[in-house]
Amino acid sequence: MTSLYYIADTPLWYFICVIALFLFVGSMAVTYRAFRDRRNRGPIIIAMLNLTLISILLVVLTDCGRSLQPEEFREYSMFQRELFELPYLIYGGVELLTGVVLVSMSLEGSKYRLKNITVEAIQQAVDALPEGILIGSEDGVVRLSNLRINLLSRQLTGKVLIDVNKFWSYVVKEGKEQGDNYLLRLPSNEVWLFKNEEISGLDKTYYQITASNVTEQYAIIEELEQKNEHLQDIRRRMKAVSELSGDMFIAQEEADARAALHNQLGQVLLMGRHYLSHNDVTDPKMVYAATTQMNRFLLGEAEEPYEGEEDVFSQAVSMANSIGVKVDIKGNEPQAESARKILAQAVTECAANTVKHAEGDLVTVTILDEDEEVIIRIVNNGKPPKGVIRESGGLLSLRRNVEAAGGAMKIEYEPDFVLELKLQESRE
């Protein structure tokens, strides 16, 4: 039978060496995992014996390759030479044996990790948390950290997290204090809340730092603070105006201030202005109802600036009439609620712009049904635009609503203003 020495430096010998190398690496990994999982003594001993056996095999194979050199061969002992003279199938059998042991231990280790809580399982669970968590000892040594807190450390400090005390000192120095916690804004504009708690165990003191993403909550707080400052400024200005002017000037100042704060209520303010100038053709009850609802909206008591008894499209037509704009409808009104809401928003915006920019008093709405689309074209009898119309405020909001509903919006500004909407017909 062919000996190992005979096949040395042949493809077969290299193949056996490569297999041995792979088995050695695998045995190292299995042994390390057995120690890390804190297995019982039995699995650890088997893993170490298997690693020792494949290590000896790898050394013998390597020495056999070196023995091909005459000067090297003379240095080997009789026992080593006898090992080289053994059939190579014996070494293949040893590799097969260690491979079987390696596979069985790997499968058994996988079952063990499924049924038991291991250090690796704990680390994986901690890494999967959306919040950052860091546990360290009093001397600043990191005992446990997840991927999120390490990412936050690199984003904030530009360094890998290796010292708990230095990291917390940075948070305290750069953060905004919120009681015992600190807020920090990342370069990505995300806002995170950091909290440090002391925990005790095994006669030692540890510190647990947690980080939570509070970007949305903080944005709401900032927005409320800004609006509160704006409202306080409006109140101060209104009080000063009240002392200098009369009730009428107060009303005008109040209207201007609220228009600056809530641009979306422009049509209600236009209706009030029209009533002051044309009270003979404007329904005072509607003016009163809309103004009351506007005040409730500013005070946070209502979600919409105006809620009447009519449906949303009829309200829009009534509001347009109340600011001196007649709405001429040609074609069949859409019955779907979503389409009527979009049409109402379009009529409201066009009526307001007709008064403010075109100095007109008529809006013509043409509604066509084509296949599965509803095409709406809106024009006015006012002055044509002086140039390209920049979409902002109401028009921009209208476009977003139209596209969100699966439709399309187009604006023509020459020779006359034309607003065209294409909506998918709905069978609500």
Distance in angstroms (rounded) separating the CA atoms of residues 142 and 136: 4
DSSP 354: I
Tell me the pLDDT tens digit for each residue of 232-261.
877 777 676 666 554 544 444 444 444 334
pLDDT category, 370, cuts 50, 70, 90? confident
- pLDDT at position 270: 61
Token digits for 161? 């997290």
Question: What's the pTM?
Answer: 0.37
pLDDT category, 75, cuts 50, 70, 90? low
Q: Give the side-chain half-sphere CA count within 13 A for 174.
A: 17
Average pLDDT of the chain is 80
Residue type, 126: V
Q: What is the DSSP string of 362-392?
A: EEEEEEEEETTEEEEEEEESSPPPSSPPPP-
- pLDDT at position 2: 79
Give the range among 127-141, 305-319, 401-415 with minimum mean pLDDT: 305-319
- pLDDT at position 253: 44
Can you tell me the mean pLDDT for 360-380?
91
Q: Residue length, the chain? A: 428
Can you tell me the mean pLDDT for 42-60?
89
pLDDT at residue 6 above 60?
A: yes
Which residues pair with residue 329 across a beta bridge? 365
Distance in angstroms (rounded) separating the CA atoms of residues 64 and 120: 40
Identify the burial level of 403 via C-beta atoms within 10 angstroms of its C-beta, where 0-12 means exposed, 13-18 middle and 19 or more buried.
Answer: exposed
